[in-house]
Structure 1
Amino acid sequence: MELIVWEWVNFLVRWLHVVTAIAWIGSSFYFIHLDASLRKREGLPPGVAGEAWQVHGGGFYHMAKYMVAPAELPEKLTWFKWESYATWLSGFCLLAVLYYHGANLFLVDPAVLDIPWWGAILISLGALGLGWHVYDRMCKSPLGKDDVKLAAAGFVFLVLVAWGLSHVFSGRAAMLHVGALIGTIMSANVFRLIIPNQRKAVAAMLRGETPDPALGKQAKQRSLHNNYLTLPVVFLMISNHYPLAFGTRYSWLIVAIVLVVGAVIRHFFNSRHAGKPTPWWTWGVAAVGMVAMVALSTLGPKDGSDTAATPPNPNFARADFAQVEEVVTSRCSMCHAATPVWEGIGEAPRGVRLDSPEDIRRHAGQIRAWAVLSNAMPPGNVTQITPEERRLLAAWTDQLPR
């Protein structure tokens, strides 16, 4: 019964996280688009930076933006914050349900760093908290006065975090934690600066004072950061389903490329919405980056043993399926079976069963991706599959028709 409850908790929290993330990303993209599409004209009320006309759902909308605040506050004022808070809270719950509850399986990889499960959880929590603090200090330092220098420093910081975490956690957990840190930064921007600055502006107006323009400038800078980080964080959050991203030798470099690719794609749309010259070059950069990520994923697994490229043992020149079946049965089928025997696993992960010759042959492509081209499986190498056995699987999958 406990296993069933945990499975449903995992499913429902994941569902909540996806729904709230859609709401947050949708509102973020909308307001960035709205801000970029504002146009000035004669006769606008004092303090209005621009206006935009939009049509949706059979009606017309007339939008105007006050750079500081209107002369009088409306009776009804909508705040956009709960999408952000709910996304982070549900994401952290999902992190706890999957990675903290199953730390020995999903968070710790003894081949990377042999640490106790509780130590891994403390490092995880510390990385999220300290990562936000470092980013916030950079924004409030002299770097924050120059958007380009601040962006460059933030990029270097996140790449260093990705590299560092890849030497602490399993490949899957390391990449996901970079995404969790970015998500924490984005949500903390809303909670710690954007909403408080807006509240200060409202409070000043209620006192009959003119709000400090610096409040809006700071909030806009953090909002712009959130906008450019959105596509990379989505990639990193879904990366745990794709071993060629997280389970390969240069996963931290793939993170660096994703940060660039996501930023240039957002720059393309931001420029288009603002009516600026279309930066078509961004798609060239994105295409080169994607090709580079694919190339990096072919360079072998994280442990440095390139099982796909290393010549196999002569005994495996023509891999005997009986040997393959023995490896898969002894290293994989305790989880990937009709009735898994591994504690905490109720059903075969992803519905992939490897407890019969027919099932092993059917899933040969997945075996190659998860256990040959990457070291994603077994997770944390809990069944201690050897490099020689991985080379056997490589030789066997090489023989199969493409």
Structure 2
Amino acid sequence: MYEYAIAWEWMAFGVRWLHVITAIAWIGSSFYFIALDLGLTQRPGLPEGAFGEEWQVHGGGFYHIQKYLVAPKQMPEHLTWFKWESYMTWISGFALLWVVYYAGADLYLIDPEKLDMPVWMAVAISIASIVGGWIIYDLLCKSPLGNHATGLMVLLFGVLVAMSYFYVQVFTGRAALLHLGAFTATIMTANVAHIIIPNQRIVVADLIAGRTPDPKYGKIAKQRSTHNNYLTLPVIFLMLSNHYPLAFASQYNWIIASLVFLMGVTIRHWFNTRHARAGKPLWTWPATAILFIVIMWLSTVPRPVADDAGAALPERFQRFAENAHFEAVSETVTGRCSMCHAAEPVWEGIARAPKGVRLETADEIALQARDIYLQAGRSHAMPPGNITAISPEERGLIVSWYETSVAGTGQ
């Protein structure tokens, strides 16, 4: 029934909120420790085994922090582990992937013009690619190439470019960029769960047993932590991209996604260098600006107009097109919404249909029935500011159309 759509929308909102909260916690702690690590100073008289120290002031108090490259001589009474921020970010992100893209695969995941496939196959490709990405990355890091930091990073960038192109060929543009973000975020969380934390546990176990910890475990963890540092900003961009059609619905969206990873490197290089008090790499500013300008230009390249003739409306959406109110609702939607939600929007200042949603044909309107109901029926989110003056009667008709269409279906 129609309550299902409302409940599902609120669940998606709740999961998204949780994802943002945990991501803030993870990224915040990650950036803090990177800055702390790079800002450590050495002085005579440090405790044995201490690499450096840092004095900080925050919240009206002073903090004195010392870092041990391997571990202190004795196990401290209380040890805080930074792991759940990462784990919950991934868990909530994967839940959001299910709620939005797997449950709404017909709309948001599958593009029949690229690869017409059943929902189960699309979900299988999604999960297999995400899991496979971590396996490939981990094997590369553990191979002899893992000892060459620059060579490894270049190869990993090549893998990301290849995955960007792959996702664009298989899924919708919106899902492609989101999946590239999930692919990368999975690598980051797996680094924490399978490398960084286990290596730290080995060091702790050695301390408890009275053994001298092997420094190789810290070195390996440091490598993965560095990778996470440079991947964070691109992941944030990719997660936000689903709100901006100029990014995900452009002809060269896979190149845009690839260039974002380079911007992540230039931005983090600036901050890392400054935190390490190693100078001011001013070249990173124009480099980042140039990359962003190129991305903006790529987003304006005209996308070939696809021939939609012959594309069948999925069976589960046909009831919306067969509803008695559909003709009147179609007139309202095309008259009030299609000037923006079109292949070529005519509303000044809009270059791409918002969120890639097009509402020019009967099939497109039927496919977007739930969002039309939620955005323009149950709420007044659309049109923005009611700029096209949709009337209460028209909104009421949209509500009746959707609710009578789903009555008795359990949706």
Aligned residue number for residue 51 of structure 2 = 49
What amino acid does structure 2 have at the position aligned with 1:73? M
If the length of structure 2 is used for normalisation, what is the TM-score? Answer: 0.78
* Contact 1:81–1:195 (8 Å) recurs in 2: yes
- Measure how far apart 1:384 and its partner are: 6.4
Number of equivalenced pairs: 341
Q: Alpha carbons of 1:103 and 1:362: their partners in 2 closer, same or farther (altered >3 Å)?
A: closer
* Contact 2:87–2:189 (8 Å) recurs in 1: yes
Q: Whole-Å Cα distance in 2 between the matches of residues 108 and 341 of structure 1?
A: 20
* Contact 2:244–2:355 (8 Å) recurs in 1: no
Aligned residue number for residue 187 of structure 2 = 185
**Secondary structure at the residue paired with 1:370?**
coil
- Measure how far apart 1:111 and its partner are: 1.0
* Contact 1:299–1:306 (8 Å) recurs in 2: no
* Contact 1:300–1:306 (8 Å) recurs in 2: no
Q: Whole-Å Cα distance in 2 between the matches of residues 49 and 260 of structure 1?
A: 31
Gaps (5+ residues) in structure 1?
Answer: 308-330, 344-352, 386-402
Q: Whole-Å Cα distance in 1 between the matches of residues 321 and 67 of structure 2?
A: 58
Q: Alpha carbons of 1:89 and 1:279: their partners in 2 closer, same or farther (altered >3 Å)?
A: same
Partner of residue 370 from structure 1, selected from 336, 339, 352: 352
Q: Alpha carbons of 1:24 and 1:342: their partners in 2 closer, same or farther (altered >3 Å)?
A: farther
Moved over 6 A (4+): none
- Measure how far apart 1:112 and its partner are: 1.3
Q: Whole-Å Cα distance in 1 between the matches of residues 284 and 205 of structure 2?
A: 42
Aligned residue number for residue 162 of structure 1 = 164
* Contact 2:247–2:253 (8 Å) recurs in 1: yes
* Contact 2:242–2:355 (8 Å) recurs in 1: no
* Contact 2:321–2:362 (8 Å) recurs in 1: no
* Contact 1:39–1:50 (8 Å) recurs in 2: yes
Q: Whole-Å Cα distance in 2 between the matches of residues 81 and 172 of structure 1?
A: 30
Q: Alpha carbons of 1:205 and 1:362: their partners in 2 closer, same or farther (altered >3 Å)?
A: closer
Q: Whole-Å Cα distance in 1 between the matches of residues 165 and 69 of structure 2?
A: 40
**Secondary structure at the residue paired with 1:71?**
coil
**Secondary structure at the residue paired with 1:51?**
strand
* Contact 1:354–1:360 (8 Å) recurs in 2: no
**Secondary structure at the residue paired with 1:209?**
coil
Q: Alpha carbons of 1:68 and 1:153: their partners in 2 closer, same or farther (altered >3 Å)?
A: same
**Secondary structure at the residue paired with 2:88?**
helix
Aligned residue number for residue 321 of structure 1 = none
Partner of residue 29 from structure 1, selected from 25, 31, 34: 31
**Secondary structure at the residue paired with 1:53?**
strand
Aligned residue number for residue 40 of structure 1 = 42
What amino acid does structure 2 have at the position aligned with 1:131? G
- Measure how far apart 1:256 and its partner are: 1.2
What amino acid does structure 1 have at the position aligned with 2:357? M
Q: Whole-Å Cα distance in 2 between the matches of residues 300 and 210 of structure 1?
A: 62
Q: Deviations over 1:26-64 (max 9, x none)?
A: 000000000000000111111111000000011100000
Q: Alpha carbons of 1:261 and 1:71: their partners in 2 closer, same or farther (altered >3 Å)?
A: same
1:2-401 alignment runs, 5 A limit: 2-301=4-303, 304-305=304-305, 341=320, 355=333, 357=335, 364-365=346-347, 368-371=350-353, 376-378=356-358, 383=363
Q: Deviations over 1:66-102 (max 9, x none)?
A: 0000011111100000000000000000000000000
Q: Whole-Å Cα distance in 1 between the matches of residues 24 and 275 of structure 2?
A: 21
- Measure how far apart 1:300 and its partner are: 2.0
Q: Whole-Å Cα distance in 2 between the matches of residues 195 and 354 of structure 1?
A: 56
